[in-house]
Amino acid sequence: MAFARTCSVALVGVEGVVVEVQADLEPGVAAFTLVGLPDKSLTESKDRVRAAVVNSGAAWPQKKLTVGLSPASVPKSGSGFDLAVAAAVLGAAERIDPRVLADIVMIGELGLDGRVRPVRGVLPAVLAAADAGYEQVVVPECAAAEASLVPGVSVLGVRSLRQLIAILADEPVPEEEQDDLGRPDPLLAGLRVPGTGAATGMHSAGTAHDQGHDLADVVGQTSARAAVEVAAAGGHHLFLEGPPGAGKTMLAERLPAILPRLGRQESLEVTAVHSVAGLLPPGKPLIDVVPYCAPHHSATMQALVGGGQGIARPGAVSLSHRGVLFLDETPEFNSQALDALRQPLEAGHVVIARSAGVVRFPAKFLMVLAANPCPCGRFSRRDDLCECPPSVIRRYQARLSGPLLDRVDLRVEVDRITRTELTALGARGESTATVADRVRAARERAVERLAGTPWCTNSEVPGRELRSRWYAVPGAMDEAERNLERGVLTARGLDRVLRVAWTVADLVGHDRPDATDVALALQLRTGVPRGVPMAIGALT
């Protein structure tokens, strides 16, 4: 009896479980049995591995072959186990020393000709291997840069099974022919999930200050610009309501550019989610700028929060982790899909239960809602251009449930642009670079204040901690508390007003929120004028 083992990784969501791949050869009729709860794509690996081994110049053992994936209770899916299965079989056949394979984690799909193809989720798989104490990882050559992001792990990138056999057997490594220059690498074909292109609304801000989307392009909208700045500084959710063409989408598209760049740990979190989803940009293994996701209003609940057949895939809330989720024409979304956002808004993650298992995806995002005031879009308190009946307006606005809106810190009415504002010369607002610098300074003040706690932004701090540790100026919260007594604010709403007030104080450089900061937070929360300037620059 001959036996060999090596390791691979099974992904459950963005979390990995190290799987021991065992190969056993016994005398008997030649057969290949794969056990250990594999799915259909993994079961088909038997034929892929056999063809790859033979076409790589190695002999296929003509004995009874059993390959086991342990632990057997963990569901295993995908083609990323091919490389480990082939290595274990060759180790059992003594083509490779079994002792060399025991402490190596192998991730990759095999082509019939022996080429090693990349798979999705390399980064979270290597992270799981590092957490389990493994120090050597073998991945496809084109995924080596992504795997190398994990510190403390030695990464070997191979282009074919022939190269891996030669390296492990201490033989001369054969040269692999390169594809014609100018042609896309065929190994990358199929790495991206079909249908995950530009139509999903996924993109990342390419530079720290995207010159193609400058805040100075937005005409007027002083209140909305202040709300966008406060949202970026404190991580607060934002609701923009106004007629078509007023600038709601323009403001949302410019929000990612004023957010600070991601830190190292945040970048690894975002990259892991995008790797599992097959959305990593070519040639960019690490995403260090905030993602931006704007799904169409026809998106299903599974597209928003995650799901799908078999093992659940990340949805828009996870693809916008540490970034911006923009829901344009929010009332047109399915009401059940919108209400499914409540849990990730509060918890910062989403848990999806399916028959194939329970997965947990990170979902800590900044949500921006945009809506017209009525179906025709012309309803306003200032003029009477709307032709919609009052009952239709009520039904349209009721599509956004109260519990969902209660989780939104900032609500701003975006007014129609006047002719004077549109045609005025030299009336441009502050640029993205100016606002981004102010946002970065505010975030630094918040991080310094929250040092030693698990929170980094004001929106993450629980209400009980705000009320017990970080007080406003005495008497500053009196008006907000009166709004609570009159039923204008809920208890959650009062806590969110205090959070926003702290963000305003950070933006203007106050040590503690005063009455003006709280008044601006109340105005941004309720929409009722409080007699304070709406431009943050005017308060500094």
pLDDT of residue 212: 64
Closest CA to 356 of 126, 38, 109, 45: 38
Average confidence (pLDDT) over 54-82? 92
H-helix or E-strand spanning residue 482: helix 478-485
Q: Is the pLDDT of residue 288 over 60?
A: yes
Better pLDDT: 119 or 281: 119
User: CB-based contacts of 41: which residues, under 8 Å, 6+ apart?
Assistant: 77, 78, 79
pLDDT in tens, 451-498: 988 898 999 998 888 888 888 889 889 888 888 888 888 888 888 899
Distance CA 39, CA 407 (A): 40
Percentage of the chain modeled with pLDDT above 70: 89
Q: Mind giving me the DSSP string for 221-242? A: -HHHHHHHHHHHHHT--EEEE-
User: CB-based contacts of 529: which residues, under 8 Å, 6+ apart?
Assistant: 523
Cβ(116)–Cβ(160) below 8 Å: yes
pLDDT of residue 23: 96
Q: Is the pLDDT of residue 34 over 50?
A: yes
Band of pLDDT at residue 313, cut at 50, 70 and 90: confident
pLDDT in tens, 318-376: 999 999 999 999 999 999 999 999 989 988 999 988 776 788 999 999 999 999 988 88
pLDDT in tens, 398-441: 899 988 988 899 999 888 877 777 777 665 778 899 999 999 99
In a 3-state reduction of DSSP, which class is residue 411?
A: strand
Closest CA to 253 of 154, 324, 313: 324
Distance CA 237, CA 320 (A): 13
Cα separations in angstroms, 36 against 32, 66, 77, 299: 14, 11, 11, 36
Q: What is the mean pLDDT of the chain?
A: 86
Band of pLDDT at residue 449, cut at 50, 70 and 90: very high
pLDDT of residue 205: 43
In a 3-state reduction of DSSP, which class is residue 291?
A: strand
pLDDT in tens, 203-257: 544 444 454 678 888 887 888 899 999 999 999 999 999 888 888 999 999 999 9
pLDDT of residue 197: 41
Band of pLDDT at residue 179, cut at 50, 70 and 90: low
pLDDT in tens, 105-158: 999 999 999 999 999 999 999 999 999 999 999 999 989 999 999 999 999 999
Q: What DSSP state is assigned to residue 454? A: S
pLDDT in tens, 500-518: 999 999 999 899 999 999 9
pTM: 0.87
